[in-house]
């Protein structure tokens, strides 16, 4: 748990419990706080911990860091205007790329960050 993120934001969408007392690895909370501080505004967590069953259902990689409680898919929280939202997402991608020493995936509507080894990719 951290100042701006609550465990409930990271719970598996199928309601299954996480292996972590606070749903995800404490290091993930720290990483997201750093990203949020640089971003300067709220961040929405699309997906945090995923049970193996839920991960499979959504087409996640079998060895996904979401299943380990060490990943989050994030996006800007504010903005109704599509152009402002797109600009904010671009800024979030730059910040995540700079701050995250693990994995960073760039997608059209969110950014994936994880505590795994350093790697970068573009997703669909």
Residue 87 included in any domain:
yes
Q: How many domains does the chain have?
A: 1
CATH, residue 102: 3.30.1380.10
Strands (E), the chain: 43-47, 71-76, 103-106, 111-114, 119-122
Q: In what order do the strands lie in the sheet with 103-106?
A: 43-47, 71-76, 111-114, 103-106, 119-122
Note whether residue 62 is domain-resident: yes
Does residue 58 form part of some domain? yes
Residue 100's domain comprises 7-122
Model confidence pLDDT, tens digit, residues 46-61: 999 999 999 999 999 9
Residue 2 lies in a domain: no
pLDDT in tens, 103-119: 999 999 999 999 999 99
Does this model's pTM top 0.85? yes
């Amino acid at each position: 748990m951290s100042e701006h993120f609550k465990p409930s934001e990271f719970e598996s969408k199928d309601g299954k419990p996480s292996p972590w007392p606070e749903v995800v690895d404490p290091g993930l909370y720290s990483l997201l706080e750093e990203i949020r501080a640089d971003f300067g505004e709220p961040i929405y967590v699309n997906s945090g911990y995923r049970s193996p069953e839920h991960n499979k259902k959504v087409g996640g990689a079998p060895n996904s860091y979401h299943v380990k409680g060490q990943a989050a898919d994030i996006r800007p929280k504010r903005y109704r205007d599509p152009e402002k939202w797109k600009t904010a997402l671009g800024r979030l991608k730059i910040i995540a790329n700079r701050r995250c020493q693990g994995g960073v995936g760039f997608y059209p509507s969110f950014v994936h960050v994880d505590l795994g080894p350093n790697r970068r990719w573009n997703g669909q």
